[in-house]
A and B are shown apart, each in its own frame.
Chain A
């Protein structure tokens, strides 16, 4: 079993829909990272969080340390949000190495 599991693997939605991507992990972590990978391959960091909730524009990330679970939400989704969203965690005992989820491929149709 992977140490970081994401769901769903693929998600197709209509423009304007509220999107939720889930991430569960099985190791002790110091923080969790949400990243976005565009079709060309470039990766952008969206959030790094260790507790609670963060918001940036239409993106919201939450984490529940006790339940070892995080969610990424996109409000009023837009076709430009189409990308692969990746959850990654910093293990507590690591030298800032990330354990990566497999990613969620999101397609927003106009």
Chain B
């Protein structure tokens, strides 16, 4: 079966610290992978998407970066977190249509 794993579930990090969120997909190959962010009280915003290994497209200029070192692994990173990076981060994948979401990471930058 096809599943998506995302961790950690919650994270509290000080301003200026690095960030690494990981997402892995099982049961499929060559998925399209996405990172979304939801700020408090707002809708989902697409941050990055990837159609293959090493292929990353950025939707919004920001303090974050993404990498796809393996076919089914998608990583969201930051070298120095800002307060405005707080939010709910969701990884998603699609084999070409319907979306499946990870359980999300709630990041609080303090």
Assuming the contacts A95-B49, A97-B49, asked whether A102 and B43 have C-beta atoms less than 8 A apart, the reply is: yes
- Measured between C-beta atoms, what is the minimum distance from A92 to chain B in Å? 14
Secondary structure at the A interface, as helix, strand, loop or mixed, is strand
Q: A33 to B45: give the CA distance in the assembly, Å.
A: 16
Interface residues on A, range: 10 to 19
> A31, A43, A88, A103 — which one has the most chain B CB atoms within 10 A of its CB?
A43
Assuming the contacts A95-B32, A101-B43, A102-B42, asked whether A43 and B49 have C-beta atoms less than 8 A apart, the reply is: no
Task: Tell me whether A96 and B43 are in contact (CB under 8 A).
Answer: no
The stretch of B12-20, B65-73, B91-99 that contacts the partner chain: B91-99
Which listed residue, A33, A41, A44, A100, touches B43 by the CB 8 Å rule? A100
Which chain A residues have a beta carbon within 8 Å of chain B's beta carbons? 31, 33, 35, 41-45, 48, 86, 88, 95-98, 100-103
